[in-house]
Amino acid sequence: MPSSQEILDGLGAIANGWRTLAIAWHVVFAAGLIALVVGWRPGRRLAGTLLAIPLASVSLLAWLSGNPFNGTTFAVTALALAGIGLRLSRDRIKIGARWPVILGVCLAAFGWVYPHFLQTDSWATHLYAAPLGLIPCPTLSAVVGIALVFRGLDSRGWSLVLAAIGVVYGLIGWLRLGVTVDAVLLFGAAVLAIAAASRIGQDNPEWNGVAGGVR
């Protein structure tokens, strides 16, 4: 088992050595955001499958960097999300209630500008080259944030798989690796997990955006 410093060094090497890919992922997410803002609403099946792809990217880079734990974990998670996604209906995704949407937007923005590992003299570089799609926590933050905005795709199983991996990596990042900002991921993933697992409060409009629609 590698030491915490070895893990941190490996994540830093990915974040700085694959900066061009990070920029490409920002372009992809930006294109998706623009499409959603102008009214595009993919089906639940398509959305569930597409959102697994960034996790597959994390898996590939982990394998290339010699981290089989992350490589295996994210490969399995991506396959699980895609597998569940392919069984979802073609009904279009729907935006949730106000507070889950606000939290989701904040979490996705956090993943977009993830303020760790990237070595740069300018904060502005994080706006387009933070390690989104490269390493676990920023990628999970963005995907969990999108899930919160869109009611967990109205899928309890899909949401719980994503929330579980988010909680695990939020804890690892915060408590084992000492990356304090990963507590943001932990909080967001915990909210998604609670909303997906609980039927309590389904009649509460503040929960209906996620918990009431997830099944």
Name residue 82's amino acid: A
Task: For residues 102 and 16, give the distance between their C-alpha atoms in angstroms, rounded to a whole number.
Answer: 30
Task: For residues 111 and 108, give the distance between their C-alpha atoms in angstroms, rounded to a whole number.
Answer: 5
- Sequence ranges of the domains in the chain: 4-208
3-state secondary structure of 91: coil
- 67: phi then psi, degrees, rounded to nearest 5: -120, 85
**What integer pLDDT is reported at residue 121 of this predicted model?**
87
- 202: phi then psi, degrees, rounded to nearest 5: -60, -25
Task: For residues 118 and 123, give the distance between their C-alpha atoms in angstroms, rounded to a whole number.
Answer: 10
pLDDT in tens, the chain (215 residues): 678 899 999 999 999 999 999 999 999 999 999 999 999 999 999 999 999 999 999 999 999 999 999 999 999 999 999 999 999 999 999 998 889 999 999 999 999 999 999 999 899 999 999 999 999 999 999 999 999 999 999 999 999 999 999 999 999 999 999 999 999 999 999 999 998 987 433 433 433 444 444 44
**What integer pLDDT is reported at residue 210 of this predicted model?**
43
Model confidence pTM above 0.95: no
Residue among 187, 181, 81 at smallest CA distance from 138: 181
**What integer pLDDT is reported at residue 177 of this predicted model?**
94
**What integer pLDDT is reported at residue 175 of this predicted model?**
94
The answer to whether the CB of 63 falls within 8 A of the CB of 71 is: yes
Residue among 157, 141, 194 at smallest CA distance from 207: 194
